[in-house]
Amino acid sequence: MDPYQILNVSRDASESQIKKAYRELSFKHHPDRNPGSDTSAKMQQINEAYEILGDPARKEAHDHPVNPMEQMLNELFKRDGRGFDEDPFIQMFQGHGFQQGFPPGFNPGFPGHFHFSTMQTTLETSVELTYEQAYLGHSIPILVERIVQQGGNHSKITEKIYVNTCPGIDHGECIEIPEKGNQFQQHKGALRVLVNVKPHAMFQRRGIDLVYPIHLSFKDSLCGFEVAVQHLDGSQYKIKNNPGTVILHGQEKSVKGKGFIRDDRKGDLLLQFHVIAPPSLSLEQVAILEQVFSDKVDNVDKSDKSNVE
């Protein structure tokens, strides 16, 4: 897997260019924007590629693979953060050509005294949002435990960080906060925050459109109705259908610009009608309906998406 090809960026792409490419591809291939298509494998490739290129330490390791001998020894022996120069026994050999036979970038020593700058600097965590918070944007305080290593010393610090989500953020998106991950020497890794949006009791999401189901009796679908919808932004809308305008089961009507807002784009509020038909009719009711609906109705379009008053 070549992460550069997957994200469609050059090898000299800047951090901002890589991040922009990742966001565009994530938005393009998100399952909500591709109903009926299995884009999970593509999304996994995109996420894995960004995990490599979005972390400077992992990007450096990918671009410049470590010496095989260094990698083997790194796996064989545990590290405690002490380098070659800190071991008093090994210092006896300094100045006598002791290091000349070791691979470049490798600090020789004995078991427990190896020290490589391959520490994972990127931290990952997650936050949970309600639909309302995802719609409006939100600031969430989280506690993050970070490792700071400088010289031969390392320490753990706990820091409160505020994660600011933009309006319209979607489930499964990732927010990257620079320099809030682990720190190795002068390199400060990023904090990656996965966003989980809790399901709503009524609303659903379709891309940047907001879907709200309205359940109607058979009579109301024929004779008109008026219902109130409590929107995610706290406002209330009165949905009215005049008598004589028939609503069919599965039909949708839209309220323009009342869906999710993403950058400079606005989705619609889609009212999805579910008509509850009676389980049975009396012979008298059947006779009345036969008289009322004596004319045959053909070619009914159930996909009407005209605006609601």
What pLDDT band is residue 206 in, cutting at 50, 70 and 90? very high
Q: What's the confidence (pLDDT) of residue 24?
A: 84
Domains for the chain: give ranges and CATH numbers.
120-199 (2.60.260.20), 204-292 (2.60.260.20)
Q: What's the confidence (pLDDT) of residue 167?
A: 95
Tell me which of 138-142, 201-205, 290-294, 303-307 is least confident. Answer: 303-307
Span 17-31, mean pLDDT? 83
Task: State the pTM of this model.
Answer: 0.56
User: Which residue in 215, 205, 309, 206 sits closest to 256, CA to CA?
Assistant: 309
Checking if the pLDDT of 178 tops 70, the result is yes
Place of tokens 């470049």: 104
Q: What angle is formed at CA 200 by the lines to CA 197 and CA 202, rounded to 5 degrees?
A: 155
Give CA separation, 183 vs 118, 148, 154, 180, in Å.
11, 5, 9, 8
Q: What's the confidence (pLDDT) of residue 298?
A: 52
213 Cβ partners below 8 Å, 6+ apart?
Answer: 202, 204, 272, 273, 274
Checking if the pLDDT of 89 tops 70, the result is no
Of 69 and 123, the structure prediction assigns the larger pLDDT to 123
- Secondary element (H or E) of residue 91: helix 88-91
Q: Give the tokens for residue 22.
A: 């990742």
Phi/psi of residue 71, each to 5°? -65, -40
Of 36 and 109, the structure prediction assigns the larger pLDDT to 36
Q: What's the confidence (pLDDT) of residue 81?
A: 44
Checking if the pLDDT of 251 tops 50, the result is yes
Of 260 and 59, the structure prediction assigns the larger pLDDT to 260
